[in-house]
Structure 1
Amino acid sequence: MHTVDTIMSKLATFRVHIAPLGFEIDRIILPLKETKADKLWLLVHEKTAEDKSGPYLESIRKQCKKLGVELQVSYADRLSIFKVIKSVKEIITQEEKNYIYVNVASGSKIQAIACMMACMILKECKNIQPFYAEPEKYAAFEGKQQSFGIKDTIPLPTYEIQTPKPKLLQALKIIHETPNQKITKKEMAEIAEEQEIIVINSEEKNHSQARFASLDKNIIQPLVDEWNFVEIEKIGRNRWIKITEEGKNAAEFLI
């Protein structure tokens, strides 16, 4: 049998699971037993009033108590892949010193994709293991737990997703947080120098020109040409740096 425990070190002292909450109990609880987990992070739909998985949350809460597993809940819109990615990333960052198992089998397809993408984005973190919990059987009728038992837990490979360099993300954050999510090139150049996103070594008389050149080469050009996160819009005498739809989506989980 494949087990996620064979991937991680037997010397792990604190083991954390991340799992989306859906209509599953066994596929969340049994892997906790298998890996002797210490903590479970449940990804719960943020609109609790319209969420039908509430009873499953209470069942999992009781099971965790019996197992002595600490339960933490993170709320995110299960229909937003970017918000789920961000939630998983934040949990992984918080738990980065522990061994982290990411369960992609217990929630929706969107949540499963988001969990895998979060693992790929944080590929440099070597103590993450996504896995798929294969059930022994499925429910015959709707309205019940969707599956029962665990036939196998299958480790999943992760491949790195390239992300922009920190300075580009810092610049994207500035644009994303400005009114209407656009900023003049002059104002951006000033802020970028102040926050040391760009560094100018020219003489004072050429300072402004050098600052624009550095901003163009090191920040604007990569964000426009390599990532398509911003675009340049000319209005009157001013040039505005404006975030694109792709940039807005990236900002949801990268910054």
Structure 2
Amino acid sequence: MDTTVPRVSERRVHVAPLGHERDRIVEPLRDHGADVVYLLADAPDRDAARGTVDFEAAAAGPDGGRVDVDGLTDYQRDAWAEAAEFASVRAVPVALADVYDVLGVTTTIAARHGAGEPDGDRLFANVSTGPRVAAVGVAIACMIVGARPYSVEPETHRHDVREEPLTAGVAATVDLPLYPMDAPTTDQVAILGWLHERDDDHLTTDKWNLIEWARERGLSFLREAGESRTAKYRALETHVLAPLRDRGYVELEDVGRSDTVRLTDTGRRVFFAFQHKLGG
């Protein structure tokens, strides 16, 4: 784990799935001086959209938050209480079996704390304490925002998680490699979001409709396109539709003299994961 000295104003923010663990959650937080801790508590049937975080409720604690405290095991509640002895703990409901929800929540937390920005907080994430799908979502989020993922090796293993944690003790904390990820641009996320809204209202969208919507909202890809209709179409294709189409996030369908742009299921999930780029 990164142990360099943080700036005076910088906080160490940790994200950890609240899985069937206690020691592997708490001890790395204690050892590395966590200031703020986000515990991702499993909520497979949560009502909120993927990737969203109610920060006010998260800061309210067990009595005012959105996490079902009664649904936690005794040792999960113990992990929460122990971490709260030395850090500000904020529990967030997440569908841990949904990689896009975990990814979106983690990137939203990163955006909230300015992770990766010159004056932002330093973000770390534990990939050891939840199901494997959650680990993947957390790890990918770290690649996107430039956070530090870490893995925690247990000293011993136990098996009946209904009675006690799966593991006990900490033998070592291991850094994981970082790889850059080509995330969609803010303009691309905005277009995905609008397609999502239109789709929910059972409305179709063609290219010119997208251009008009983007112009009204001042999206950057049109700023240097000029007034030429052809140039605007070219800018939309080059900076938005071609990259989204190549990644399978949108599809084009010929309808009469125009192309209808449709959001794919993958594109919808990617929007949920990256909607934090739109700033709320």
Aligned equivalents of 1:234, 1:169: Cα separation in 2: 23
Give the CA RMSD over aligned residues.
2.3
Count of residues paired in the alignment: 240
Unaligned runs of 5+ in 2: 46-66, 276-280
Percent identity at matched positions?
A: 24
Aligned position for 1:151: 171
Partner of 1:119: 142
Q: Corresponding residue for 1:37?
A: 34
Amino acid at match of 2:143: M
Please give the TM-score of this superposition, normalised by the length of structure 1. Answer: 0.84
Would the aligned equivalents of 1:233 and 1:241 in 2 still touch at CA under 8 Å? yes
Which of 77, 80, 83 is the matching residue for 1:64?
83
Q: Corresponding residue for 1:79?
A: 97
The match for 1:10 is 5
Q: Verify: 1:229 aligned to 2:249, yes or no.
A: yes
* Offset at residue 153 of structure 1 (A): 0.7
Deviation at 1:11, TM superposition (A): 4.0
Q: Please, which runs of 5 or more residues in structure 1 have no aligned partner? A: none
Measure the CA separation in 2 of the matches of 1:182 and 1:111: 34
One-letter amino acid of the structure 2 residue matched with residue 161 of structure 1: M
After TM superposition, give the deviation of residue 107 of structure 1 in Å. 0.8
Alpha-carbon distance change, 76 to 237 in structure 1, aligned in 2, over 3 angstroms:
same
Q: Distance in 2 between matches of 1:35 and 1:159?
A: 23
- Retained in 2: the 8 A contact 1:8–1:99? no
Output the amino acid matched with 1:109: R
Q: Which has the larger radius of gyration?
A: 1
Match of 2:60 in 1: none
Whole-angstrom CA distance in 2 between matches of 1:218 and 1:210: 12
Distance 1:181 1:111 in 2: 34
Counterparts of 1:110 and 1:150, CA distance in 2? 22
Shift of residue 253, structure 1, vs aligned partner: 0.2
CA offset at residue 21 of structure 1? 0.6
State the TM-score, normalized to the length of structure 2. Answer: 0.77
Amino acid at match of 2:88: E
Q: Post-superposition shift, 1:105?
A: 0.8
Q: Is the 8 A contact 2:20 2:76 kept in 1?
A: no
Displacement after TM superposition at 1:115 (Å) = 0.6
- Alpha-carbon deviation of 1:176? 1.9
**Is the contact between residue 181 and residue 242 of structure 1 (CA under 8 Å) also seen in structure 2?**
no
